[in-house]
Amino acid sequence: MSGLRRGAGCAIFRAMNILSILIGLLAIPFVLGGIIPLLGALNYLAIPIAVVGAGLGILSRRTSGRNFNLLMLLVAVVRLSLGGGIL
């Protein structure tokens, strides 16, 4: 494993999950702000943030970070589709 300890790989995957959750927490204000009428354009900012967080969550062995970001992504896309932003 090129100099890595046996448990170091597990720590990297755990860190990816934590980083994914933190990125999801960064997306929350954009998603919640985008629910408010006339502020739906904030969801266009929330979608890329949630996609990056979900990508990092996929690299992790745990699923909580990935699922959290997918939930943020789902809420943002549904709100945009209801407002006519995504057809």
- Domain map of the chain by residue range? 8-82
What is the pLDDT, as a whole number, of residue 1? 47
HEC string of the chain equals CCCCCCCHHHHHHHHHHHHHHHHHHHHHHHHHHHHCCCCHHHHHHHHHHHHHHHHHHHHCCCCHHHHHHHHHHHHHHHHHHHCCCCC
What is the pLDDT, as a whole number, of residue 79? 93
What is the pLDDT, as a whole number, of residue 37? 87
Q: pLDDT averaged over consecutive 10-residue blocks of the chain (87 residues)?
A: 58 88 96 91 94 94 94 94 79
* Residue type at position 22: L
